[in-house]
Chain A
Amino acid sequence: MMDVQRIRKDFPMLKAHPELVYFDNGATTLKPQCVIDAVNDFYTAHTSNVHRGDYAIASLNDRLYDGARGSFAKLLNCSSQEIIFTHNATASLNQIAWGLGHDFLKPGDVILTTEAEHASNLLPWFRMKEEYGVEVRYVPLDNQANLDLSEFAKALTPEVRAVAVAMVTNVLGSIQPIKEISRMAHAQGALVIVDGAQAVPHMKVDVKDLDIDFLAFSAHKMCGPSGVGILYGKKQLLDAMSPVFMGGDMNARFQKECTYELKKGPSKFEAGTPNIEGVIASAKACEYLMEIGLDEIHAYEKELRAYFLEQMQKLGNIEIYNPDNLYGPIDFNAKGVFSQDAAGYLASRNIAVRSGNHCAKILHEVIGTDSTIRASLYFYNTKEEVDRCVSACADISLENAIGIFF
């Protein structure tokens, strides 16, 4: 059983802001002391570049930086040679989309995705349509953004060469059946690309078991620092894929005739000086989560979410868009109050949530509204915080929302 009160002591932000209810974990998460220390130690005790120095501190950083791959490999059940560090989940997805367009796809090939995707799992594909003539199609979803496998089977025509979906959608928290999607897609030779930004921080994601070809996620949504993305790819696919960026540390040799040979392995995709302290601290975050246990985190959040939903459903002024989903954020509006006004009122009560369309600009066609409030939990949140949020939600009204300005 998780000891939430003990866990909360690890997070300085919670100490610094006892008044704050932080329910914006879908946007980014708070950082435990061990992650902060790892960043700080790099600057105060062992600063150097990586893969370039012959002195002891440089070797230490090489070990820590490349060792970070091992932590993520353990988290995902893959080889450390299949872990690439980028700058965020967006950068990972752009590398995957561009790499597919450049090396694997031909004009007329179809990318199958959904209308619930975040901008970062759509716009890179839109560009592949412009640049490589691939076609983008959407699998129909139900009104809570769940993908139906019989619809998926119908959409999986022979021209589909890749499927790109979020394992957990960022607005509604719908969990998509990745294992079945992979099995069906692979049966006809299509690749499976998974946006794991809202999944990996909250549940066990085993890339072998799910048979995922490419996975993208961000460290900052799992207690790590900003500016670090992770790209997992099956080794044979990474070997066949070109990097978006060319430059230092990723080439083996080059000549004035414009010929060059690139390094093998993850380095090929990591041109230039990386976010060294960020990667080292991300590994700390990864180990911190594994120590608590991803299954424990998942179970705790699920229970907390169920309690949150039950309390919110008692409020007459609140409309909830994803009541049947068992997991992820609660997405709602206060009746008659524009989402940003309501979020402004909640902020005046020290409740941090997000309002708007959450970078999923075509989702409104699925749920029937343009903008919502998203309250997203993490394992350090508590029932007491849920109660405070619910009591503030009960008071959302147009009068109160305008009242914050006076």
Chain B
Amino acid sequence: MSDYLQMLEDPEVLRELIMDHYKYPHHHSLTEDMKYRKVHMSSDSCIDDITVQSDIEDGVIRDIRFDGTACTISTSSTSIMTDLLRNKTVAEAKAIIEQYMNMLDGKEYDPGMLEEAVAMKNVYRQANRIKCATIGWKAISQMIEESENSHE
């Protein structure tokens, strides 16, 4: 694990990661399955236009998928998010999201929890791109919140 974390400090590796997730995004197709929640994100910026779907059952995120037109940062950060939060409990996911948002705020964060998502660690320096790096993450947060409210 520590070798892996060390590898994730190499800018060249992180650049490749972003490139790879942009060219070949993971879980990049939507489903017609009615049990999925769905959020269309397009209002935060007038360019990016993505839809994120999730299957959250019994407090566990069983699946996340997405599709749409977006920049490298939006696409790769969302793709990485679908890998990272899949099969996590809602509580685990919320803790990871919090760390991610801290990173995008330029605050302290735990790289061990964020794994590949640390590729976005320098985005906070370019204020106009923070919304790109958080668009997919905001979508899943919204669906987690909805799933919690629907159980109340």
Contacts and interface: CB of A to CB of B under 8 A. Distances in A.
Interface stretch (B27-35, B95-103, B105-113, B122-130): B122-130
B19 interface: yes
Given A401-B72, A403-B15, A340 B123 contact: no
A357 B14 CA distance: 30
A371 interface: yes
Interface in A386-406: 398-399, 401-406
Given A398-B19, A406-B122, A338 B129 contact: no
Contact of B18 (A359, A371, A405): A405
Nearest to B12: A406
A344 interface: yes
Contact of A370 (B69, B72, B123, B132): B69
B15 A338 contact: no
Interface string B68-109: 011111000000000000000000000000000000000000
Contact of A356 (B46, B70, B122): B46
Contacts of A356: 46-47
B123 to A, nearest CB: 6
A405 B46 contact: no
**Which range contains the number of B residues in contact with the other chain?**
20 to 34
B71 A357 contact: no
Contacts of B71: 338-341
Interface string A337-373: 0111100100000000001110101000000001100
Given A338-B72, A340-B71, A406-B11, A399 B47 contact: no
B22 interface: yes
A37 B57 CA distance: 64
B46 to A, nearest CB: 6
B46 A402 contact: no
Given A344-B129, A405-B122, A339 B47 contact: yes
A398 B22 contact: yes
A398 B15 contact: no
6 contacts: A370-B69, A398-B22, A398-B72, A406-B12, A406-B15, A406-B122
Interface string B43-77: 00011000000000000000000000111110000
Interface in A240-258: none
B51 to A, nearest CB: 15
Contacts, number: 51
Given A403-B15, A406-B15, A338 B70 contact: yes
A402 B18 contact: yes
Given A371-B47, A405-B122, A405-B126, 10 more contacts: A338-B70, A340-B129, A341-B73, A356-B46, A357-B47, A399-B19, A401-B72, A402-B72, A405-B15, A405-B18
Interface residues of A, number: 20
Nearest to B122: A405
B19 A340 contact: no
A357 B69 contact: no
Contacts of A401: 72
A344 B23 CA distance: 18
Nearest to B69: A370
B13 to A, nearest CB: 10
A402 B132 CA distance: 13
The 9 closest A-B pairs by CB, nearest first: A406-B11, A338-B71, A340-B71, A356-B47, A405-B122, A341-B72, A402-B18, A341-B71, A371-B47
A149 B14 CA distance: 54
Nearest to A403: B15
A344 B127 CA distance: 11
Nearest to A119: B46
A214 B83 CA distance: 56
B48 to A, nearest CB: 8
Contacts of A341: 71-73
Contact of B132 (A340, A398, A406): A340
The interface centre, meaning the residue of A371, A398, A401, A406 with most chain B CB atoms within 10 A of its CB, is A406
B95 to A, nearest CB: 25
Contacts of A398: 19, 22-23, 72
Contacts of A370: 47, 69
A66 B12 CA distance: 61
B34 to A, nearest CB: 29
Contacts of A344: 126, 129
B36 to A, nearest CB: 26
Contact of B14 (A339, A355, A399, A406): A406
A278 B69 CA distance: 40
A405 B130 CA distance: 12
Interface string A273-306: 0000000000000000000000000000000000
Nearest to A398: B19
Nearest to A356: B47
Contacts of A340: 47, 71, 129, 132
Contacts of B122: 405-406
Contact of B15 (A339, A355, A359, A402): A402
A72 to B, nearest CB: 31
